[in-house]
Structure formats: structure tokens, C-alpha cells
Structure 1
Amino acid sequence: MKAIVLREHGGNDKLRLETEFPDPVAGPGEVVLRVGASSLNYHDVFTRRGMPGINLPFPVIIGLDVAGEIASVGPGVTDWQPGDRVLVDPIDRVNGGLVGETIHGGLAELCRVPEHQLIRLPEGVSYDEAAALPVAYGTALRMMNRVGQVAPGERVLILGASGGVGVCAVQLAKLAGAEVIACAGSAEKAERLRELGADHVILYTEEDFLTAIQQKFGKPARRRGAANRGGVDVVVNFTGGDTWVRSLRALRLGGRLLTCGATAGFDPKEDIRYIWTFELQIRGSNGWEREDLHELLDLVQRKRLRVLIDRKWPLAAGAQALASLENRQVTGKVLVGA
């Protein structure tokens, strides 16, 4: 079969299209999918580069998010049959492991997974929509709803709003009844975020987001009381790096900073004075649960949640697709497939 294969860590040139990679064969309790779509995430960039403490079983086919049609089933599989439309939960919650990292992923014509990782697709949800959900939208839903508990009337500032997690976070905050301030790097991205429901957009290439927040909503005050509404209630920051301290300073008294990653640096400068002085809450969120994916599929089926797809690349251009994500040239999700 054709597949985008990684045989050693390094730059994007290490991702190679191979046309005669061995076809997977379904073993006991497994199925083989004919891949309809696979979406890329920044985790795929880290997998290609190499991550401290994680040793991969090379060769590896990247692509955590996979949706497609079952092509064949292995011995003992009774609940699934060829032709079934499915989404794969990338996390193997029984045996451990992760699709696209320890298990061959979706940047291939075929993909083998254990049957317990399958979720049946509802009618009306396409492979493209489904493949965009688990890592980015699943992470966003858990962070915003389960951990962050975003509430009606709150002001929510979202950094990195034009990425996969960000575009979902914008929509979930609006569904919760919040006032959304989204940060974007271009006028084009800003317009797409407004289309998704963002009430305000800050172009961080033209103005500092902290200055913009303080000018619009006032500076946070340490005094308690209903009159103290300076700053925002929630900041969503999964970039880290040099945005961390400014995110703390944008929060009102008792505000919440939500984080689920650190794409711009995991060891930012810290100033804990803002945390104790303003009684801030730092809430970390890690991944998603199976019920989160079911909820997302339901939201998409009912047209409550839009899957924003930047572009779908052909399999042969899988390396270029990942480069577009790594270089932050996208709004929403990057897909690869037929």
C-alpha cells in the first residue's frame, strides 16, 4: 500500500511516501480500515522531531486521527463488518499505545486498529468531519466544558484561536453563552473566527493582546465586589512561551487560565505574584475521554458545531500538509486522504 513513513527523527524531509509498504492484516480482535481521511495535529510534528523520553518503534506511519470504512475484520470480531463507517479513538485504552505513534496511523491507504477503539459514525457525519475531531476537538471539549466549566456571560480570551483546538474552543465558548475574544495572526484568520462566533478579534501581529484586553475591559483590581470586572474571566493558553505571564495579567480576580499544551515552549518565565495576589486558578487539561467523542459527533450531526477544515491534501503530499501546520499557515484542521 501507499503510506507516508517516518524511519528516523528529523525535519520534514524524513517523511517519505512509500508505495510498497506492507498491507496490514487484521489479527484477533482487530479490523483494517480503508482510510477515508486522517487529520494532522501538532503532536505529529513532535513525533517527527522526536520527544524526550519517548522511543518509537520505527518505521512509523504518522496520523493520530483516522476515519474510514472497515475493509476486513480479524478472528473473533463480531460487532463490526466490512462496510461499516467508523471513527478511531486514537488512544488504546485497553492495551496502551497511541495511533500514529506506537501504532501505525492514518497517513496510509489502510490502517489496522483494535476493535475496541472504534466508534460508529452517525448518518450525516462525513469522514472528513469525523477525522478532524478526536485530538483537537476532543481536547478542546474536555478543556472548555469538563475542566474549564466556561459559563454564560463570562469573558473568554483564546490564544491560538485559529488552530484546530482554538476554532473548537471558540465555538464551545459561544455555545456556553460566553463573550469570546479570539487572537489571530492575520485579517483573513480574524474574519474566519468572526464567522465562527468570536465577538472580538485581536490581531497579535499588530497589537499586544494584554494591552488590547486592558484597554477594552480595564485592568484587574485586587478588591472584591461586583464592580470589579476588569480583565477576563478565562484565558485559554495552550501555547506557553512568552505569552504565559501576560495571560495571567489579563485575568480578573479569581480568573481561570486553561492549558492543554505548550506549542511555543513548555518552560515559560513565571511570576507567581499574579497567581496569589489575584487568586488565580491554573487548570490543566489532558486529552479527552470516549464520551467526549460521542458528544462531539452528536454536536456535528445536529449542526451545533462546525468542523473547520483548512484544506485536504492528497496522501502523496502528506509531508507538505504537515509543513503547513508546523508553519502555522492554516485555519482549522489539516486533512490528508483520498
Structure 2
Amino acid sequence: MSQSMKALVLTQHGSLDNLSVVTDKPRPTLKPGHAIIRVKASSFNYHDVFTVNGMPGIKVPLPVVPGLDLAGVIEEIADDVKGWQPGNRVLINPLKPGVGLMGEMTDGGMAEYALVDAAQLIALPDAVSYAQAAALPVAYGTAHRMLVTHNTIKPGDRVLILGASGGVGTACVVLAKKLGAEVIACAGSAEKAAALSALGADRVVNYREEDFSRWAINQYGKPQRRTYEGGVDVVINFTGGDTWRPSLKCLKRGGTLLVCGATAGYDPAEDLRYIWSFELNIKGSNSFYQDDLEALLTLVADGDIVPLIDREVPLEQAAEGLRLIRDREVLGKVIVTP
């Protein structure tokens, strides 16, 4: 068996030009407590854009193979690992115990093989494809924890989702509909708006054509009336930046703003008057846990949800796939098949 493999490698921070596909990356060496996975599918997240750009305060050991999400088959397993064997289909929890995220602190899924801690292994049901599984951890896991685990959405709630066309956004649309909410999805083009309607969104707002906050206030009544009726019940905002203050404005009295990230900036302009005047709740949600991923696999296996995949590309086109995510030209997930 060849001791080298094909992989996408980031050599230095800065731009997507620093990503290259190599054919001579040394294959991982098996260690106690670990398994080597033959990667069948991996997916990109906006987090990979941050990894390529470089993040203040986070020192990534370069060169590194990106890709937090991966699914595949156990190729080799250490003798001290019980309950697993070569040939088992598995989804990998991206968080490597004591190390950090795969694709950031250690090599990730954009390669033919990956070394994982046995604690990261999750059995993959036969009814779930490798591509579906690889779509789940970061995007759907984050959305599941924010909406389901934290019990933040009730049937009939009006839920406005910013960035609804991305990985986490489409996951929020799917899960919020599953929970019985009235979903208002915000997107930046007519094509994405139509696709989100097809995905199940009850209403769509093209934020390039109209102010989403003003639209919500006009549609559902003015929160300034200090009633429990005007405005939306929940805003899901993981963009931050200049969307933060408008998000506060369109919430009804007692409404909730859910946040799990800040792709457009983590230090937004704030207006505390809305928070106390309308008794708003700000609820943070961080990452995901094993039980979120196991619950999602069951939902997919049972046909209750279908992860939205925009396209599947070979490893040679992986950098272009990440560019599409960076430039917000996709709806849902980009899957790479090494």
C-alpha cells in the first residue's frame, strides 16, 4: 500500500492561492487509541475561510489539511480500541480531544486518509450516505444545538433567519420547519430566495432589495408599541456586523436573538435600549456535541430531514468550492470527494 496520499494543503495564511493539491502527502501513521479513516466525503464550512485567512489569537500549525467535516470507512484501528473494526462506516466528530478542531489544529478531511481519535468515531447508519453525513457536523450540529438542544423555538414561532442560504442557515431553515415554526429566510438573490422557498421557508426576503428589519416590522407590526404581538419571535443571527442592530429592532417584546457566530464581524454597533425596552433575550450557542450529531443521523436515516447539498466536487476542485462558499455563491453545503 502506498505510503503517500493525495491531499489539499494550506501552506500559509492569506488567500485561496495558498491552497494546493499534492500527491505526495505522507499517509498518517496509526497511533494507540486512534483509527485511520479512508475519507469518502468531506465538506467545507465558512470556518475554513477563516482558517485560510488566519484568525487573530489562533495559531494554526502549518502546513495543514483543511476540512472539519468528514465521513468514511475505518481503514486501520489500533489494537487498544474496542468496539470498532476495519470496514465500519463512520462519521467523525471534528473535535479531537485535547487537540482541537480537525482541519485547523490537526489535519482534516480534504485528503484520502485521516487520523482520528477513537472518541471521535460515530457509527454511520446504512441509510445515510457519506455525503449526507459529511454535511452534518459543523452546520447542522451547530443549528441543532442552537434550536433543538437549547429548546429555543416553539411551534408557531415567527423565526427570521439571516444568512439563510449557507450551511448553518439552510440547516436552521430545515430544523425550524421541523419544529413547526413560521420561517422567514433572508438571502441575497432572487435565485436563492426561490430555492429557500422550495426548501420550505414560508417567506423570503431579498436583503439586497429591501431592509429585512423594516420588512419584518411592516409585516408583523411595530415592536415600538411595546406589545407582545408586534415583530418576530426569534431572529437567528450568526453574521453580526451591521446586521446586529436591525435584528434587535424587529424582535417583538420578549423575543429572542440567537447567535452562534459572526461571519460579518464580531464587534457590531449595539443599541442596548432595545434590549431593556422590549425585554429581549440574547441566547448564545457554541458548537455541537456528540448527542447532537447522533440525533441528526437518526433524523436523516428516518427521512425526517434531508441535508441540503449544493454540489459535490473532486479534490482537484476543492479550492474553487471554498471560493464559492466565501463569495456566498452556493445554497447549502459543498461536498468534496477525495
Asked if Structure 1 and Structure 2 have the same fold, meaning a TM-score greater than 0.5 normalized by the shorter chain, the answer is: yes
Secondary structure of 2:28's counterpart equals: coil
Deviation string, structure 1 residues 214-268 (Cα, Å, up to 9, x no partner)? 12111114545xxx41100000000001111000001000100000000011111
CA contact (8 A) 2:259 2:283 kept: yes
CA contact (8 A) 1:30 1:112 kept: yes
How many equivalent residue pairs?
334
CA contact (8 A) 1:241 1:262 kept: yes
**Aligned residue number for residue 59 of structure 2:** 55
Secondary structure of 1:83's counterpart equals: coil
User: Deviating runs (4+, > 6 A) in structure 1?
Assistant: none
CA contact (8 A) 2:37 2:114 kept: yes
1:8-157 residue pairs with structure 2 within 5 A?
8-92=12-96, 94-147=97-150, 149-157=152-160
**Aligned residue number for residue 209 of structure 1:** 212
**Aligned residue number for residue 251 of structure 2:** 251
CA contact (8 A) 1:27 1:75 kept: no
TM-score (norm 1): 0.96
The alpha-carbon deviation at position 193 of structure 1 amounts to 1.1
CA contact (8 A) 2:226 2:278 kept: no
Q: Which runs of 5 or more structure 2 residues have no equivalent in the other structure?
A: none
CA contact (8 A) 2:99 2:105 kept: no
Secondary structure of 2:174's counterpart equals: helix
**Aligned residue number for residue 263 of structure 1:** 263
CA distance in 2, matches of 1:318, 1:262: 24
The alpha-carbon deviation at position 95 of structure 1 amounts to 2.1
**Aligned residue number for residue 195 of structure 2:** 192
Secondary structure of 1:286's counterpart equals: coil
1:292 aligned partner, one-letter code: D
Deviation string, structure 1 residues 12-40 (Cα, Å, up to 9, x no partner)? 00011111010112111111111100000
CA contact (8 A) 1:3 1:19 kept: yes
2:39 aligned partner, one-letter code: V
CA contact (8 A) 1:148 1:258 kept: no
Over the aligned positions, Cα root-mean-square deviation in angstroms equals: 1.1
Q: Which runs of 5 or more structure 1 residues have no equivalent in the other structure?
A: none
**Aligned residue number for residue 303 of structure 1:** 303
The alpha-carbon deviation at position 148 of structure 1 amounts to 5.3
Q: In structure 2, do the counterparts of structure 1 residues 78 and 223 end up closer, same or farther at CA, with 3 Å as the change threshold?
A: closer
CA contact (8 A) 2:241 2:269 kept: yes
TM-score (norm 2): 0.96
The alpha-carbon deviation at position 121 of structure 1 amounts to 0.3
**Aligned residue number for residue 335 of structure 1:** 335
Deviation string, structure 1 residues 106-129 (Cα, Å, up to 9, x no partner)? 000111111110000012100000
CA distance in 2, matches of 1:17, 1:104: 14
